[in-house]
Amino acid sequence: MVRVLVEIPRWLLVIGLIFAPWAYGSTRLWAIHVLSLLMGCICLLWILECLIRHRQPALPLIAVIPALGLIFQGWWMALNSHSYFDPDLDALLPTTSLVSGAPGSANGPASTSAMLLFTGLLGVFLFCCDLSQCAVWRKRIWVAMALTGLSIAALGLLQKICGEAVLGLIWETEKQDLTNTFATFRYRGNAGAFLNLIFPMMAGLSFLTFQRSDRPWSKALWATALFVLVLGIQLNPSRASWFIGIILGLILGVKIFWSYGKRQNDFGSKPVLTFALVVALLLLALGSISFLGNWETSWNRLNILGFDPTNRSPLIIYLRMAPDAGVMGFGPGTFSTVFPSYQQTYDFGSRPVPLFWKDGFFEHAHEDYLETLIEWGYLGALFWSVLIFGGIARGVARYFQKQTLVSHRWLLLCSLLALGGTLTQALIDFPLQIASIQFYAVILLGICWGANSPSAHKTDRPGSGIAPSRCGCLPG
């Protein structure tokens, strides 16, 4: 029974990795609720396991404090709300606060719904900090992410090839748009951000398979999987995602080429040159495929529209909102209901701006950092910065430590690149507002934060020297 209690939340995490992107990217309300419930079960079972086994989880205190701070701040803002949104009147109406003079959410119901999700995400983050001590589960999470990303890319390619015949299987008629929809994501930018998050994970697994496996079918499987994923990034119409994918590919290519050449002890050897030739041929094939079928691809949109992120959203209005948000912000999940009052009253003067800046509906800002500052305020933004950039710093530190296992070092590198790609796109888009991408990101952050533990670079198999009470894994 103890083993069952230990394993159930871990397998629920794998189920969540599959469910989150396939349930329309967890963008629909029912999918967000299911994902929140799933994460709640994971956290409760994990806490119960720790209590029954009298085990102290391996959690870095510097990560626990901001995580708990965000949970406390978010729930306080939701419970002490000053107003709520009335959809019939399309306006915010006042409500009675618990403490009238204290900060509170501008939309209580929206903050409550958002905090159910964020509480689960932060709980899963802490769970993964602890779980990352187990080498077996680090590998399982890695593989689950890669294969799920492969399935999403394969569905997107099938939609490109078959068109509405496949789109109609999961999308309503009004949403069957090959210029914007890719796989289970309604918006091409979110689909591209998800694929770029998976890209380094898939590349790292493929490289390690070629380095360590003697089975040709295994090498063929992972090479094909990587090709399909990269092809999905190419054919997805998002220009920003394509550009970020190119940067990630260059970094990974240099790292793989260097590691392969170092292993061969000769950068001019025939195997290394053959490897470089194969990569060049694959890139040529990708470029050629993008012109087939007259598909709407990132490359085609870049040729037609160029790439100018300055007109994507009214950044000048966000900068006006941020000081008003203050220390605690307007409350989690309130951007879409607070923004219209600024949008309708902002004076652009004689400056020509796109019409949709003035009358368009913005569920999210195309700038995750400013949206976070608006909703969470200076205090919440500080907490999030410690969690995100502190985790990246811990991952980098462990990566450069010599005693770290090679496979763990590669997982850290892939996790850091995946997070880096997502954080880069967050400058001009809103990937960090999408529940499925949030779910993957907090898991990778947990792996980075847990990497600096003394036990993180060891195996959790019997006789490895890690006590079950430390990493939570049972021998055998």
Dump pLDDT digits (tens) for 62-92. Answer: 999 999 999 999 999 999 999 999 888 888 8
> Which amino acid belongs to residue 447?
I
In a domain, 13, yes or no: yes
Q: What is the pLDDT of residue 464?
A: 37
Burial class (CB in 10 A: 0-12, 13-18, 19+), 338: buried
SS3 (DSSP) at 452:
coil
Residue 167 confidence class, pLDDT cut points 50, 70, 90: confident
**The one-letter amino acid at 170:** I
Instruction: Give pLDDT, residue 275.
Output: 54
Question: By the 8 A CB rule, do 106 and 334 touch?
Answer: yes
Decide if 291 is inside a domain.
yes
Q: Which of 383, 379, 363 is closest to 371 using CA atoms?
A: 363
Give the residue, 285 or 40, on which the prediction is more confident: 40
The reply to whether 335 falls in a domain is: no
With 90 as the cut, is the pLDDT of residue 21 above it?
yes
277 lies in which domain range? 2-308+366-471
pLDDT confidence bin for 461, thresholds 50/70/90:
very low
Four-point Cα dihedral 110, 114, 115, 118, nearest 10: -170
Tokens, residue 217: 């079918």
- Using the structure block, give the residue that is written with the tokens 């079928």: 293
Return the top range by mean pLDDT from 188-192, 353-357, 454-458.
188-192
Token pair belonging to 415: 């996790």
CA atoms within 13 A on the CB side of 34: 19
The pLDDT of 4-11, averaged and rounded, is 92
Is 440 part of a structural domain of the chain?
A: yes
Alpha-carbon gap, residue 124 to 131, rounded angstroms: 10
**By mean pLDDT, which of 220-224, 261-265, 367-371 is the weakest?**
261-265
Going by C-alpha positions, the residue among 385, 337, 470 that lies closest to residue 70 is 385
Instruction: Report pTM.
Output: 0.89
Report how many domains make up the chain: 1
Among 173-182, 209-218, 243-252, which stretch is predicted with the lowest mean pLDDT? 209-218
Q: Let me know if residue 70 belongs to a domain.
A: yes
N-to-C CA span, the chain: 15
In a domain, 376, yes or no: yes
Residue 321 lies in a domain: no
Mean residue pLDDT of the chain comes to: 85
- Which residue in 297, 325, 312, 301 sits closest to 426, CA to CA? 312
Query: How do strand 83-86 and strand 91-94 relate by DSSP bridges?
Result: antiparallel
Residue 179 lies in a domain: yes
